[in-house]
Amino acid sequence: MKKLPHVVHKKILVLGLAKSGTAAAETLHDLGAFVTVNDAKPFEQNENAQYLLSKGLTVICGSHPEDILDEGFSLIVKNPGIPYNNPVITEANKRGIPVWTEVELAYRISDAPMIGITGSNGKTTTTTLIFEMLAAADKKPKIAGNIGTVATTVAKEATAENIIVTELSSFQLMGTEELKPKVSVLLNLYEAHLDYHKDFQEYTDAKFKITQQQDANDWLVYNGEQQIVKDYAQMSKAAKIPFHVSSKTKEGISADEQYVYWNGERLFERSIIALRGKHNLENVLAATATALLMKCPIEAIIQVLSTFHGVKHRTQFIREWKGRKFYNDSKATNALATKSALEGFTEPVILIAGGVDRGHSFDELIPYLDRVKALVHYGATKDRLQKFGEEQGISSVVSTETLGEAFKIALATSSEGDIVLLSPACASWDQYESFEIRGDEFIDHVTSLKE
């Protein structure tokens, strides 16, 4: 772990705890800073605050006092979930106090090079693929950020022999100053998190910070088929590696119907890729390009691509049973995500959908309904989905109350050669606390099927 002389004996405020804030506070304390932590959760219910107090840190819990900055802090490290319109952050900006998120601290202390992955969709799958490719090539990767362990904790343990593969959100990137990955990956940009960012421009500018400090000795892997990403890429000083999923190109990594190409030269057949869907092909190309830049042998890359069936709850292949294949795409909480899943199949699909009714249109599914043999739906959106399915001429549209009932109907409707796909196009909160719990229930139903 690198030392940070400019934090020694300096007063630093860590705003918001959870895992990332706790790791940042402990690290800054170990580096010699005088750390105060402030968390809205009451001390009696706050195990992280209690732990940090036992380590000798100053702890303020239960609220965020507006006069807290009168202590004379030289730096704030904030939890990514705390918005920038928080009164303490607003006042810090007025006073010119730097505000970091924990990944900035992780980057500054790390002895290991970093790979950073961001985008509106596909971050987790791409991050996991890169990690698995580096591991297969014995590059000693460590995974961090939104998945895996808190980045600061990983950075403290990493050596120059490691590579830190880090999934980065706009929340994390917005609070960075010197973050400079060896390889940055910008997958795509769509409207998201506008309840946190003041507008789409602020959101996309935050994403661009993943490459803002890079230079010609670094690489930017980016979506060469999305204009907004291309426009941002042109502002980067890094060496640029575009990916294209629609046709062969001479520059970067690309694919046609049969092959994947590296700078126009054939790399491997697409048929070896286990992941389904055009959206996953974007993730595959971005991960493969990154692995090649990090000098992974093609054999290691192919080994991963031929065996990796997806991140849990993201078009995750579960098993084949009596000629039917089952996929868990519980993470698909809107129609755009379900559209991406359907796009990946040519076989007949039994689609299980439903959940929270947020009034969103299902029209994005229409071009891909020709492969939907049956729509089985449940939950708060069941009436809307029934009407939608009937209007679109799906031959079998069945309404029910719960996922368990929907699974039984889907199974009875299916035939050998069919895909049974949970891709709800809706959030889970009408019946589940999270999409993970919903997906786990579906997995349980599938794995309990007897041969």
Domain ranges of the chain: 9-97, 104-305, 316-447
Query: From CA 398, how far away is CA 382, in angstroms rounded?
Result: 9
Please report, as a single letter, which amino acid is at residue 78: K
- Find out whether 90 is annotated in a ligand binding site: no
Query: Is it the case that residue 248 has pLDDT exceeding 80?
Result: yes
Q: Over the stretch 18-59, which tens digit does the pLDDT of each residue have?
A: 899 999 999 999 999 999 999 999 999 999 999 999 999 999
Q: Which whole number is the average pLDDT over 62-76?
A: 94
121 is in an annotated binding site: yes
Q: Are strands 419-422 and 349-354 parallel, antiparallel or unpaired?
A: parallel
pLDDT of 323 over the 90 cut: yes
**Residue 327's beta-bridge partner residues?**
317, 421
Q: Is the pLDDT of residue 78 over 90?
A: yes
The answer to whether 175 is annotated as binding is no
For position 194, what pLDDT does the model report? 73
Single out the residue of 232, 145, 148, 218 nearest to residue 188, CA to CA.
Answer: 232
pLDDT tens per residue, range 79-109: 988 988 899 999 999 999 999 999 999 999 9
Whether residue 122 is annotated as binding a ligand: the answer is: yes
Torsion of CA 68, 53, 40, 192, to 10 degrees: 100
Is 124 one of the annotated binding-site residues?
A: yes
Per-residue confidence band for 1, with pLDDT thresholds at 50, 70 and 90: very high
pLDDT over 80 (residue 358): no
Q: Which residues pair with 35 in a beta bridge?
A: 12
Using pLDDT thresholds of 50, 70 and 90, give the confidence band for residue 66: confident
All residues at 6 or more sequence positions from 324 whose CB lies less than 8 Å from its CB, including other chains: 411, 414, 415, 416, 417, 418, 419, 420
DSSP secondary structure letter of residue 6: G
The pLDDT tens digits for 379-426 are 999 999 999 999 999 999 999 999 999 999 999 999 999 999 999 999
Q: Is 123 annotated as a binding residue?
A: yes
Q: Is residue 76 over pLDDT 80?
A: yes
Tell me the β-bridge partners of 60: 38
The whole-number pLDDT of residue 431 equals: 95
Q: Which of 264, 257, 279, 271 is nearest to 302 (CA)?
A: 271
Unique residue bearing structure tokens 């202590």: 71
Q: CA-to-CA distance for 124 and 58, rounded, in angstroms? A: 35
Is 80 exceeded by the pLDDT of residue 293? yes
Q: What is the CATH number of domain 104-305?
A: 3.40.1190.10
Q: What is the pLDDT of residue 103?
A: 97
| 206: its two tokens | 């935050």
Q: 133-191, pLDDT tens digit by residue?
A: 999 999 999 999 878 789 999 999 999 999 999 999 999 999 999 999 999 999 999 87
Domain 316-447: assigned CATH number:
3.90.190.20
What's the number of CA atoms in the CB half-sphere (13 Å) around residue 295? Answer: 5
Angstrom distance (rounded) from CA 3 to CA 24:
14
20 belongs to an annotated ligand binding site: no
Q: Is the confidence at residue 110, as pLDDT, over 90?
A: yes
- Domain 9-97 indexed as CATH 3.40.50.720: yes
